[in-house]
């Protein structure tokens, strides 16, 4: 029987919400093996001077626990 663990992360990008999601996945993959999926839980942005300066993407990453 397998057990799947999830972690929540927020990726940050100056380019787009998509890039922010990729940033979160790239960072997670540096220390977590066996990532099997990712859900986008939400997006937000930092606005300065009527312009978006940072895109934030809240993700849940799933991976199988190893024995």
| 8 Å CB contact between 63 and 33 | yes
| Domain ranges, ordered by start, for the chain | 4-64
User: Distance between CA 5 and CA 27 in Å, rounded?
Assistant: 17
pLDDT value for 5: 96
Closest of 23, 44, 36 to residue 63, by C-alpha: 36
Q: Which CATH number fits domain 4-64: 3.20.20.70, 3.30.1330.10, 3.40.33.10, 3.30.1660.10?
A: 3.30.1660.10
At 10-43, the pLDDT tens digits run 999 999 999 999 999 999 999 999 999 999 999 9
């Amino acid at each position: 029987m397998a057990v799947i663990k999830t972690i929540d992360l927020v990726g940050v990008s100056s380019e787009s919400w998509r890039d922010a999601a990729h940033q979160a996945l790239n960072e997670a993959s540096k220390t977590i093996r066996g990532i099997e999926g990712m859900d986008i839980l939400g997006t937000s942005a930092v606005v300065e001077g009527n312009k978006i300066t940072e895109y934030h993407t809240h993700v849940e990453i799933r991976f199988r626990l190893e024995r």
